[in-house]
């Protein structure tokens, strides 16, 4: 892996040394380059080396956020009693979070958290879907930073709500000492529960989203890099293989759209479940 | 005495790790989703609740496979 990374980096350095045009560089290379983790660390646009480093992925996040805000701004400013198709689509998204996630998991108590969970769902959809939009081509959530911020938001939210409702002692007793087991079991159960509540829940929330997007992006890059290699460099009959990898790449694009929506659903659903666990009475 | 090498693995053995890491969660997801479908077929009226519970379970099983993917990149 390390060797591969070094090879990719040195190959890029060699390419930039020569004065090739962008098109030439796209359609000529020496052999097949498998995608690597270096995909997710593109060169900086400005502020290189400082904490304000701004690269392609940051730019895509800004574009996705602006697009999300613009769509909802337009929908809200033109809202009518009888919705047209555009407004109908937006209302479908909002109703989806309410009817499919919040109501079944949290019941009527969840109404308070509906704006929070809807924001979470829609922003994750927006940041995920950039992974399949042409010319953006990488999900805003494919670096751990953004999922981490979202997971920490959920983490602070459920801890705060739990402590607010039951008090600090009540919340810890509720979540660390589940009733209905003989007391020696607590030696085993309490550390596991503590690990769950304080570390594993936010960590897995962030990791699940980021890892799904990383895997999806690598899959797409692999398929289309192989297509390019087969079409322009492979000899003779091997060119036909390019059609296969292209079809696979197209299928994975559709699959990635599904995954982007599914991960937003799973993230929001789990956030609702964790909030509900923190709020519910003695179980 | 020379030994004859029949098969040899070169490169990093860690690259097969993800294949192994995907086996367990694969079986787990199969059982989990299959059982949910079974439950839905028997009692279609609770299918909404079953689906919700299934997705929570799927999220826990799936994260194991994803940890396998990440460790592949981390420990090379």
Nearest to A270 among B14, B59, B67 (CB): B59
Helices (H) and strands (E) in chain B, counts: 2, 0
Per-residue confidence (pLDDT) for residue B1, from 0 to 100: 60
User: A104 to chain B: which residues are within 8 Å by CB?
Assistant: 48-49, 52
Per-residue confidence (pLDDT) for residue A29, from 0 to 100: 54
Per-residue confidence (pLDDT) for residue A9, from 0 to 100: 45
The whole-angstrom distance between A219's CA and the closest CA on chain B is 12
Per-residue confidence (pLDDT) for residue A175, from 0 to 100: 87
Predicted structure pTM score: 0.82
H-type alpha helices, chain A: 2-17, 22-27, 56-77, 85-96, 103-106, 114-129, 145-176, 186-195, 201-232, 241-279
Nearest chain B residue to A274 by CA: give it.
B56
Nearest to B52 among A105, A207, A208 (CB): A105
- Per-residue pLDDT of A118-130, as tens digits, reads 999 999 999 999 9
ipTM here: 0.73
Structure tokens at A120: 């979470």
Q: Scanning the structure block, which residue is given the tokens 């098969």?
A: B7
Inspect the interface and report whether the beta carbons of B59 and A211 lie closer than 8 Å: no
CA distance B23 to A197: 27
- Per-residue pLDDT of B2-56, as tens digits, reads 778 887 777 767 667 788 888 999 999 999 999 999 999 999 999 888 988 888 8
Q: Among residues 99-138 of chain A, which lie with CB inside 8 Å of chain B?
A: 104-105
Per-residue confidence (pLDDT) for residue A256, from 0 to 100: 93
CB contact A196 to B (< 8 Å): no
Which residue ranges of chain A lie beneath pLDDT 70? 1-31, 282-283
Angle at A110 between CA A192 and CA B48, to 5 degrees: 80
For A200, A210, A213, B31, B41, the CA distances from B28, given in Å and listed in that order, are 20, 22, 22, 5, 20
- Residues of B contacting chain A (CB within 8 angstroms): 12, 14-15, 48-49, 52, 55-56, 58-60, 62-63, 66-67, 69-70, 72-73, 76
CB contact A212 to B (< 8 Å): yes
Q: Scanning the structure block, which residue is given the tokens 């060797």?
A: A3
CA distance B20 to A268: 30
CA distance A158 to A274: 7
- Closest by CA to A192, choosing from A211, A202, A207, A178, is A178
Inspect the interface and report whether the beta carbons of A211 and B76 lie closer than 8 Å: no
CB B43 within 8 A of CB B35: no
CA distance A29 to A191: 54
């Amino acid at each position: 892996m390390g060797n591969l990374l070094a090879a990719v980096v040195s190959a890029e350095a060699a390419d930039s040394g020569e004065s090739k045009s962008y098109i030439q560089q796209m359609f000529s290379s020496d052999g097949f380059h498998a995608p690597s983790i270096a995909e997710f660390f593109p060169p900086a646009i400005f502020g290189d080396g400082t904490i304000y480093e701004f690269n392609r992925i940051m730019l895509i996040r800004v574009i996705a956020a602006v697009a999300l805000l613009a769509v909802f701004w337009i929908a809200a400013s033109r809202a009518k009693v009888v919705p047209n198709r555009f407004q109908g689509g937006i209302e479908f998204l909002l109703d989806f979070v309410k009817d499919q996630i919040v109501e079944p998991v949290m019941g009527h108590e969840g109404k308070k958290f509906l704006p929070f969970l809807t924001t979470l769902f829609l922003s994750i959809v927006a940041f995920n879907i950039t992974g399949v939009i042409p010319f953006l081509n990488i999900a805003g959530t494919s670096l751990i930073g953004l999922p981490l911020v979202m997971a920490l938001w959920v983490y602070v939210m459920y801890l705060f709500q739990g402590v607010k409702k039951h008090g600090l002692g009540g919340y810890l007793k509720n979540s660390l000492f589940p009733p209905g087991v003989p007391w020696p079991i607590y030696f085993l159960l309490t550390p596991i529960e503590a690990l769950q509540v304080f570390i594993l829940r936010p960590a897995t929330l962030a990791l699940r989203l980021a890892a799904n997007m990383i895997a999806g992006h690598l899959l797409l890059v692999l398929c289309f890099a192989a297509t390019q290699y087969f079409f322009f460099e492979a000899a003779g009959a091997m060119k036909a293989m390019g059609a296969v990898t292209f079809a696979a790449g197209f299928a994975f694009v559709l699959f990635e759209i599904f995954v982007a929506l599914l991960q937003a659903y799973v993230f929001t659903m789990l956030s609702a479940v964790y909030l509900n666990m923190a709020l519910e009475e003695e179980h | 005495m020379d030994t004859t090498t029949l098969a040899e693995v070169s490169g990093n053995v860690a690259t097969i790790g993800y294949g192994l890491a995907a086996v367990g969660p694969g079986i787990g997801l199969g059982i989990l989703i299959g059982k949910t479908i079974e439950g839905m077929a028997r009692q279609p009226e609770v299918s909404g609740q079953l689906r919700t519970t299934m997705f929570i379970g799927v999220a826990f099983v799936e994260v194991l496979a994803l940890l396998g993917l990440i460790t592949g990149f981390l420990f090379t």
